[in-house]
Structure 1
Amino acid sequence: MTAQWLLWRDGVHDPWFNMSVDELLLEAAQQFGAPLLRTYRWDRPALSIGCSQVYPEEQEAHYAIVRRPTGGGNVFHDVDLTYTAVIPAGHPITLLDRMESYRIFHEAMLPMLEELGAHAGLKADESAHVDRRTMQCFTSPSRFDVVADDGAKYAGAAQRRTRNGILHQGSIRLSAAGGSWEKLEEALLKALKHYFSAEQILFTPPTELLERAEQLARTKYEMARWNRGAQS
């Protein structure tokens, strides 16, 4: 039986709105009745930092900085494609442990990258001697990240789990598709559709969700008290 996934091919937004949308999607995960996949872009050079990361003041002159609702390291968003998968509680993926649920998304990308001419595999173990409060995502690969033969990182992700389900925020280097965001997006959607045997149904976000996301962006994700203070 073919599974159904909702697909939101979102547009270009500011960094704070992008993160607020993802928080609200996790909050509403069980209302959707199926996993939801979102691709989106950034309207300026941006740096997202994990919820427990040290705030990188030295980057303020070059990037708009936003703290994610998920963990992981610092990710620069001027050279990547970002996507979000929201998996509602009770779905088989939520029954996997954290590392296995992380692994499957990256395993799904390996045939795609091969077709794009970017030979890659999954990192077998953690990088040694990494300060996880200051690490940069694409220079400090973690276990099950997608890496090239020389160890360079192609893709990474971070997750948050709540009683509503899983929020999986992923990032893929545009260099995997010769720098083309559009080509990489098409390849990613095809790869996930095949791996999860999923029918992708176009999703139109409710106006209420967008309005709430705008409000949350301004009252939380754009605020210094959120971005400068590491969250537990």
Structure 2
Amino acid sequence: MHGEYKVPGGKLVVVDLDVDGGTGRLSNVRVGGDFFLEPDDAIALIDAALEGAPSDTDTAALTARIDAVLPASAVLFGFTTESVAIAVRRALAQATDWSDYDWQLIHEAPQPPALHMALDEVITAEVAAGRRPPTLRVWQWDSPAVIIGSFQSLRNEVDAEGAARHGVTVVRRISGGGAMFAEPQSTITYSLSVPESLVSGLSFADSYAYLDDWVLGALGDMGIKAWYQPLNDIATEVGKVAGAAQKRMVGPDGGPGAVLHHVTMAYDIDADKMTEILRIGREKLSDKGTKSAKKRVDPLRRQTGLARGVVIERMIESFRARYGLTQGAVTEEEMAHAQDLVRTKFAAEEWTRRLP
């Protein structure tokens, strides 16, 4: 079995191993990668620590086995003992890698907020069913919106009078997480619809960092040092620039499914308008080290000095350079299904107000 794990912001860890059919234990374990490790013979200690481990050993226990054998003087650069354990779990889960797929890009004309919510559900369901390849969809908004998480209370998150005054549509998405304020020329939003096997062997939290890693590289190419900030933020030295959310979908007949991972990035932001529309309370800000919502988000426009369209194109090109990317489109069948979901779900008061 073969497993790989690219440490977010770090190096690649590769594990090859067998599972003994009689005992169900790991054998012939070999760990490698482009990381740095001292002393040189510590790599043999890591292999030996994993040898003989039961194949159902979880990530924490595998990490503990490695930690127990490494000398205090060992130096690991670009990886951690946990990342080795994750690579083992991915090998055992027969996880796939980014390069195993022919990725498709959808980047089309501006569309209404409710339609974007529906397209996320439809496209991810199509990936789960095997009728569509893994897809990167870059959104264009035709009007301002507030997007609340699946489990948020509408009145607790949105000032209805403020939203109406500014002509802002309120929609509810299928993923959890917090409310996002989006304006057409001030927001960059994208969705990844990927097979579940791409994140096999990863914890829910680790999957966020794993699926965000490419965009950290894209921002780095534009001169922005960014990092994943648990659980679902992308941050820089001057503040948060993006928030992510996920939804897992089961495949046909309960088989392997797909993951929707979507991210909203602040290219520019009208902070005064945002605080008139969103109810951002003290409790929300208490763990962010700031008293003002305005200070939480630092737009990409100021940090890059680039036009929004240029930022988007550079992000797309960065993804293409890493994993390949061909131009695609929403099919007629997908669009028809999405428009039906708009009528029956995403534009319906019953869905938007399901948690009043």
TM-score scaled by structure 2? 0.55
Equivalent of residue 180 in structure 1, options 307, 314, 317: 307
Q: Which runs of 5+ in 1 are unaligned?
A: 126-142
More relative contact order, 1 or 2 (CA 8 Å, 6+ apart): 1
Distance 1:211 1:3, change over 3 A: closer
Q: Which ranges of 4 or more aligned residues in structure 1 deviate by more than 3 Å?
A: none
Measure, in 2, the Cα distance between the counterparts of 1:224 and 1:45: 18
Give the corresponding residue for 1:133.
none
More strand by share: 1
Give structure 2 stretches of 5+ with no counterpart: 1-98, 251-256, 268-298
Of the structure 1 ranges 56-65 and 96-105, higher mean CA displacement relative to structure 2 is found in 56-65
Task: Show the 5 A alignment for 1:144-155.
Answer: 145-150=233-238, 152-155=239-242
From 313, 325, 339, give the equivalent of 1:214: 339
Question: Does the aligned pair in 2 maintain the 1:88–1:94 contact within 8 Å?
Answer: no
Q: How many residues align?
A: 209
C-alpha displacement at 1:116, in angstroms?
2.2
Secondary structure of 2:242's match? strand
SS of the residue corresponding to residue 187 of structure 1 reads helix
Shift of 1:34: 2.9
Deviates more, 1:12-21 or 1:203-212: 203-212
Question: After superposition, where does 1:38-77 map in structure 2 within 5 Å?
Answer: 38-55=137-154, 56-58=158-160, 59-61=162-164, 62=166, 63-77=168-182
Larger Rg: 2
Equivalent residues in 2 for 1:121-200, closer than 5 Å = 121-123=227-229, 125=230, 143=231, 145-150=233-238, 152-163=239-250, 164-174=257-267, 175-176=299-300, 177-178=304-305, 180-194=307-321, 197-200=322-325
Q: Which has the higher helix share?
A: 2
Distance of aligned partners of 1:190 and 1:96 in 2 relative to their CA distance in 1, 3 Å threshold: farther
Contact 2:148 2:171 in 1 (8 A): yes
**AA of the residue aligned to 1:84:** S
Are residues 1:82 and 2:170 paired?
A: no
CA distance in 2, matches of 1:180, 1:230: 38
Contact 2:232 2:245 (8 Å CA) reproduced: no
- Matched letter for residue 25 of structure 1: I
TM-fit CA distance, 1:111:
3.0
| RMSD of aligned Cα (Å) | 2.1
